[in-house]
Amino acid sequence: MNAPNITFYFDIGSPFACIAFHALRTSPVFAECHIDYVPVSLRDLFQLCKNTPPLAVKNKAHWINRERIYWARRFQVPMSEALPQAFPASTSEVQLALCLLATQHPDSLLPVVGKIYCMFWEDGNSNVLTQPGFSAILEGELGAENARRILDESKGTDAKAILDESTQDAIDSGAFGLPWFDCIDAHGVKESFWGIDHLGRLVDFLQLDASLDKAFGVLL
């Protein structure tokens, strides 16, 4: 039998994707899983699905903020109770760079994403979503030359094509919001899940051991 496989679609602008990213990376529940981390555009996903942005729905902003804080604490994710500056802010620049990073330097994707998530959701620094804000993170991970190449190429059509394709892949698998998870169990059976509050169902589907992490007690 093969190891359980998870394809995780994310955008830096989604707090729940941030929490899921942390859980997938740190929880012993997922230690035996093969996980692919795929940057997508949440804005484009909403537009293509004709999905109303959550903050535009009456009363939903307050609810989402309460849920954000609850799940961050539940999974012990460092996250400011106050929303980041200028939230919601455009994530186009950073997502374009991340999709190139995933393609050209896949081993560097997770460290870079982790640092960007920290600066945005823990420190509240919206500048990290722009090239001037995240360029130092890229340079620290890749070196000056490779970082400069990513920054330059992220302004071109190839980067946009990669991001568009990944976003469409998520939509084709059923996504309408983030975080979105495409899963394949050890027997090759496929299923998809949406939302941090559905990690329990994901764990059950993949027949993982939820007892390894007490954070999952509320999900099962």
When pLDDT is averaged across residues 199-203 and rounded to a whole number, the result is 96
Which residue among the candidates 14, 41, 92, 154 is catalytic per the annotation?
14
The question of whether 126 is a catalytic residue gets the answer no
Look up the CATH number of the domain holding residue 42. Answer: 3.40.30.10
Q: Which two tokens stand for residue 171?
A: 């939509």
The pLDDT, as a whole number, for residue 55 is 80
Distances (CA, A) of 102 to 42, 163, 164, 190, 216: 17, 11, 14, 23, 29
Confidence class of residue 86 from pLDDT cuts 50, 70 and 90? confident
Cβ-based neighbour number of residue 75 at 10 Å: 19
Give every CB contact of residue 124 below 8 A, 6+ residues apart in sequence: 80, 82, 83, 84, 85
List pLDDT tens digits, range 120-139. 999 999 999 999 999 999 99
Q: Report if pTM > 0.75.
A: yes
Q: Which residue has the tokens 């329990």?
A: 200
Q: Is the pLDDT of residue 219 over 90?
A: no
Domain count, the chain: 1
The distance in angstroms from the start CA to the end CA of the chain is 25
Which residues constitute the domain of residue 100?
A: 5-219
Q: Could you tell me if 71 and 43 are in contact, meaning their C-beta atoms sit under 8 angstroms apart?
A: no
Q: How much is the average pLDDT of 23-46?
A: 98
